Amino acid sequence: MKLDELIEIANRGYPDDEIVSYHRGETETGDGLAKFIAVELRETFDPKTADAAQIAEAIRALSVARNEIESVIEALANAIRY
């Protein structure tokens, strides 16, 4: 699998082709989440890894990020309860 292919797969689940645009360096629209996903996928990509393992690693990395975002959301929600 090539990095471009992994980015294209991820981009299918994101509005407006922003992940691809950031990956290609074509945009600076301010969509920090799309930029983060493109960077995270690039940083965890290993061209020597089999396709299924590469996708599994991308899922793992983004799942860790999701958990961290959920913790931040919880902290913010708790702050308004005080």
- Domain assignments of the chain as residue spans, ordered by start: 3-80
**Mean pLDDT, the chain, as a whole number?**
94
Q: For residue range 40-69, list pLDDT tens digits in order.
A: 999 999 999 999 999 999 999 999 999 999
**Global pTM value:** 0.88
Look-up: residue for tokens 């950031």? 22
| Sign of the dihedral defined by the CA atoms of residues 49, 53, 69, 71, in that order | negative
Q: Which band of pLDDT confidence, cut at 50, 70 and 90, is reported for residue 17?
A: confident
Question: What is the C-alpha to C-alpha distance for residues 60 and 66, in angstroms, rounded to an integer?
Answer: 10
